[in-house]
Amino acid sequence: MITRRRLLESSLALSAMSCNCISFARSGGGTGDNRELLELSATKALELIRNGDLSSERYASSLLAQCNRNTALNAFIWLNQDGLLEAARALDKQRGTNHHAALSGLPIALKDNIDTKDAPTTGGTPALRGNQPRADAPVAASLFSAGALLLGKTNMHELAFGITSNNAAFGPVHNPYNSVMIPGGSSGGTAAAIAARMCPAGLGTDTGGSVRIPAALCGIVGLRTTAGRYSLEGIVPLSHTRDTVGPMARSIEDLALLDTVITGSSASIRPPSLKTLRLGVPRGYFYDNLDAELAPVVESALLRLREAGCVLVGADFADIEKLSAISGRLSFYECMADLSNYLSSHGSSLTATEVVRQIASPDVRELYDTYVLGPNAPTLEWYQHAIAFDRPALQAAYRAYFRNYNVAAMAFPTTALPARPIGQDIEVELNGNKVPTFLTYLRNARPVTSAGIPGLSIPIGLTTSGLPVGLELDAPEGQDRVLLGIGGAIENLFGRLPAPKVAYS
């Protein structure tokens, strides 16, 4: 265990190196005492732990205290109160033998549709409250094998089938920047926890935008990985064609760290010079009817990129709306069979039908009743045609866009509007008109999901109402590390958003 004196000496040493110093000398448990700890990125926290300047227990204790101060956000379904501290103490006692591991001592949050053997995996739905997996999902196991510690399982939109994280079974997740607003979804709990400084990083899942939308609405970074890059084993599924697991954090460096551990990739992340970066700006679809407060933030960001030397290529994506129309229906067709396979592989006595019968959230029930099991359900013939012809056509169109316009990525607002009030699950207001909540938030994030290519959301500012705005960057298949480098260059230009007031109130 590190003594108070050693912490003070380390703090003074850090102070001498930088005016942006971090002080850990104080031993009190108040928010003011721990603010510097809570602001640490995952990478910086690991550096301090590895160097012996911060104990794993001290860091874990500070994060748990922050979680308990912010229970009103309802970010967690399950919090590892005792187990986390026990694991952190064990690491501290073994210091020097195991702190070389990449993530040793780092508490992380996992969306509660990712299997963990030490905690139930509910999928945010009543029927799975008692679902105790026998093993960690491979994506979780890779993090734990690298020394990461489970902070908790985060709240989510029920069965990952929505974008508000207004969960009728476990309660709604609240946006840290305005607690009456949605955090986005379906990975809303992970995003809210990271934004509110309850944890530095974690995992979500993304089918139609479920990592990038909450990242945008909560002012953090979130990566949807190339399809197949991360294992989907041990994930409560929605659509095997479109599902991905995605890291979420407050810095691109931390996303890259988690991606490195999960994939074992040795490819370096190299932020390009903005003066040599070419980005496609597809205004014909992705910029239509943007919220009046959000649009100026996006335009200001594009201007800053242009002034920094970035070449913005105004190139529309022809027929993107038509090409990507298959997306939702792919999920509607695949979800029941995929859920059945998950339950069977876990030895569950439940059937997918029984799980659906117990759905608590009205909007999710409506989707199943109408589009999955009801009159508008897609047919086998439609599905076979979509997989054989429509999806390849969408993928070819993306490849042609990047090639023909010689751009490294596409840039557009992650969502057409910022966060809206909790409870508006069916309709929201956009520029004076009522529009469908689900489809409107999905509009920009959805096309890439059926193509299977990577997408990254990065914060670029706040609206006049103080709500975060995200810029999405989509890149060619397999270019995840290149995309993270681009994100790093843009992050260096814009910096990170200030912490929400709730974090330190």
Q: Beta strand pairing status for 107-111 and 149-154?
A: parallel
Q: Is 202 helix (H, G, I), strand (E, B) or coil?
A: strand
Token digits of residue 256: 């890259």
- Could you give the CA distance from residue 107 to residue 84 in angstroms, rounded to a whole number? 8
327 belongs to the catalytic site: no
Q: How many CA atoms lie within 13 A of 279 on its CB side?
A: 28
- Cα 254 off chain centre by: 12
Cα distances (angstroms) measured from residue 16 to each of 19, 23, 55, 231: 7, 12, 21, 44
Give the three-class secondary structure for 151: strand
Catalytic-residue membership of 111: yes
Q: What are phi and psi of 172, to 5 degrees?
A: -75, 150
Question: What's the one-letter identity of residue 293?
Answer: E
Strand partners of residue 461: 469
Reduced 3-state DSSP string for 217-259: HHCCEEEECCCCCCCCCCECCCCCCCCEEEEEECCHHHHHHHH
Residue 222: phi, psi to the nearest 5? -150, 135
Q: Which of 10, 56, 165, 210 is catalytic?
A: 210
Q: In this structure, what is the dihedral angle of CA atoms 104, 106, 107, 108, given to the nearest 10 degrees?
A: -100
10 catalytic? Reply is no
Residue reference for tokens 């910029």: 287
Going by C-alpha positions, the residue among 290, 287, 286 that lies closest to residue 435 is: 290
> Which DSSP letter does residue 421 get?
B
The one-letter amino acid code at 249 reads A
The CA distance from 233 to 126, in Å, is 22
Strands 171-172, 221-224: parallel, antiparallel or unpaired by DSSP?
Answer: unpaired
451 - beta bridge partners? none
Element (H, E) at 384: helix 380-385
| Catalytic pick among 41, 56, 111, 142 | 111
In angstroms, the CA 194 to CA 248 distance is 8
Q: Which residues contact 223 (CB under 8 A, 6 or more apart)?
A: 211, 246, 247, 248, 255, 259, 454, 455, 456, 480, 483, 484
Catalytic annotation, pick one of 186, 239, 251, 331: 186
φ, ψ dihedrals at 51, nearest 5°: -80, -5
Question: Which residues neighbour 41 within 8 Å (Cβ) at sequence distance 6 or greater?
Answer: 200, 249, 250, 251, 253, 254
Active site residues: 111, 186, 210
